[in-house]
């Protein structure tokens, strides 16, 4: 039994055994025909029939792949499990774009984060991880681009920071676009990108912008008010 989703290319499925049964359990943004609980139950039910079950995911199952929920369901039923690691989207995107995720003197911190989460949870504050010398790899964030850009600008990231938009990475429709941070939402809209894409945003050390903070004046009555400005 092979349970797969919409991110798995058909060429990959052709590598499976000819007698393997394939079941599509994909989700489309905004639609939940296959809620996670139903997928968990199917995995357990088929394994309990004595079948070998493969839950096929695109990228690495341990990075925003909901692997934990499926593993816990299987283990709770006494089913042995094995994880086969893959290449996560950020690494594949950078490799196919011919660029590095980190670069000496430019970016020495890599953050894998997402702009969305499960229903009912507050949206992630992914911008808080950004700082000079960092690269953010944003998964599932196209629809949240305007919010993310505003948050990154408020964090101090320059509007001229470079963004790589990696669309349909490693699939036949793969393409790469480059723009400035301040132009990200407009570029996504103009290019009609509203589905699967990974955003790579680098804040180089050379573009460091350190905001100043003003401390409250001294309250001592015998002293004149004094304002001290610190560089972060």
Cβ–Cβ under 8 Å, residues 176 and 97: yes
> In the block, which residue shows the tokens 């699967």?
196
Q: How far apart are CA 126 and CA 155, in angstroms?
A: 11
Quickly count: other Cβ atoms within 10 Å of residue 162's Cβ: 17
Q: How far apart are CA 168 and CA 173, in angstroms?
A: 6
Q: Which residues have CB under 8 Å from 153's CB, separation 6+?
A: 159, 181, 182
> In the block, which residue shows the tokens 């139950």?
41
Q: Is 5 a catalytic residue?
A: yes
Of the residues 5, 9, 162, 183, only one is catalytic, namely: 5
Of the residues 9, 19, 27, 108, only one is catalytic, namely: 27
Q: How far apart are CA 206 and CA 162, in angstroms?
A: 12
Could you give the 3-state DSSP secondary structure of residue 55?
strand
Quickly count: other Cβ atoms within 10 Å of residue 86's Cβ: 17
Residues that are catalytic = 5, 27
């Amino acid at each position: 039994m092979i349970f797969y989703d919409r991110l798995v290319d058909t060429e990959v499925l052709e590598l499976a055994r000819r007698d393997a049964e394939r079941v599509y359990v994909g989700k489309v943004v905004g639609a939940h025909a296959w809620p996670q609980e139903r997928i968990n139950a199917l995995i357990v039910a088929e394994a309990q029939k004595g079948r070998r079950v493969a839950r096929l995911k695109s990228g690495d199952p341990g990075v925003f792949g909901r692997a934990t929920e499926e593993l816990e369901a299987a283990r709770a039923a006494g089913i042995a499990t094995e994880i086969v690691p893959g290449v996560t989207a950020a690494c594949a995107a950078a490799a196919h774009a011919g660029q590095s995720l980190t670069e000496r003197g430019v970016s020495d911190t890599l953050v894998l984060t997402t702009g969305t989460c499960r229903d009912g949870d507050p949206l992630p504050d992914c911008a808080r991880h950004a700082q000079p010398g960092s690269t953010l790899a944003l998964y599932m964030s196209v629809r949240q681009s305007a919010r993310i850009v505003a948050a990154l600008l408020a964090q101090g990231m320059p509007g001229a920071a470079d963004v790589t938009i990696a669309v349909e990475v490693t699939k036949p429709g793969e393409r790469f676009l480059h723009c400035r941070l301040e132009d990200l939402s407009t570029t996504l809209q103009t290019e009609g990108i509203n589905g699967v894409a990974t955003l790579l945003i680098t804040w180089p050390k050379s573009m460091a912008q350190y905001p100043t903070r003003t401390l409250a004046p001294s309250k001592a009555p015998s002293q004149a008010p004094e304002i001290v400005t610190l560089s972060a």
